[in-house]
Amino acid sequence: MKKALFLDRDGVVNVEINYLYKVEDFKFIEGIFELCKKYQNQGYLLFVVTNQSGIARGYYTQEAFDILSSWMVEEFAKHGVEIQKVYFCPHHPEISGACSCRKPEAGMLLQAQKEFDVDLKNSILVGDKESDIEAALTAGIKESYLFDEHHIHNKSKATKIVSKLKEI
């Protein structure tokens, strides 16, 4: 079994912008490539796990999300970082009903476990909302980090957090 680093997208990989779906609006958090490279070099598989209710809400299409995700994965690759897969939940409970993939549910993490033989117990999750941490706990991930969602919009705060994680 392999250990993994799971990253929420908005607020962890990129600067939070509500319902982000355009490449031109995407701004990587400073230090994210170095952070991922560090864990990749330690043998971690890298995954992005993201709730994308903007699809259910009709703000953007799954095709637009797929285009942005492909671009993001390519940008990581340009920095020598391999993202194994981007898992996403396109649902919203009030629009499409309950599902097992929307965090705080653990569906995306369990899917990665099944598809990539991930050892969840020895994996790490980094998120910016309590629901990310709840999903990690439900999946059996013992190590998780919560970015302060009230300060994540401040780029310098996000950069300091990523820098701190790189030291761990």
Is the predicted pLDDT of residue 157 greater than 50, yes or no?
no
Q: Catalytic annotation on 10?
A: yes
Residue-number span of the structural domain to which 33 is assigned: 4-167
* Spatial contact of 16 and 157, defined as CB atoms under 8 Å apart: no
pLDDT of residue 90: 98
pLDDT at 119: 98
Exactly one of 8, 25, 128, 132 is catalytic; name it: 8
Domain count, the chain: 1
Residue reference for tokens 């912008």? 17
State the pTM of this model: 0.89
- pLDDT over 80 at 76, yes or no: yes
The percentage of the chain sitting over the pLDDT mark of 90, rounded to a whole number, equals 86
Mean pLDDT within 27-35 = 94
List the CATH number of the domain containing 141: 3.40.50.1000
Give the orientation angle of helix 107-116 with respect to helix 130-139, to 10 degrees.
50
Question: Is 148 considered catalytic here?
Answer: no
* pLDDT value, residue 147: 78
Q: Which of 10, 66, 132, 148 is catalytic?
A: 10
* Mean pLDDT, residues 80-90: 98
Comparing CA positions, the residue from 63, 42, 43 lying closest to residue 54 is 63
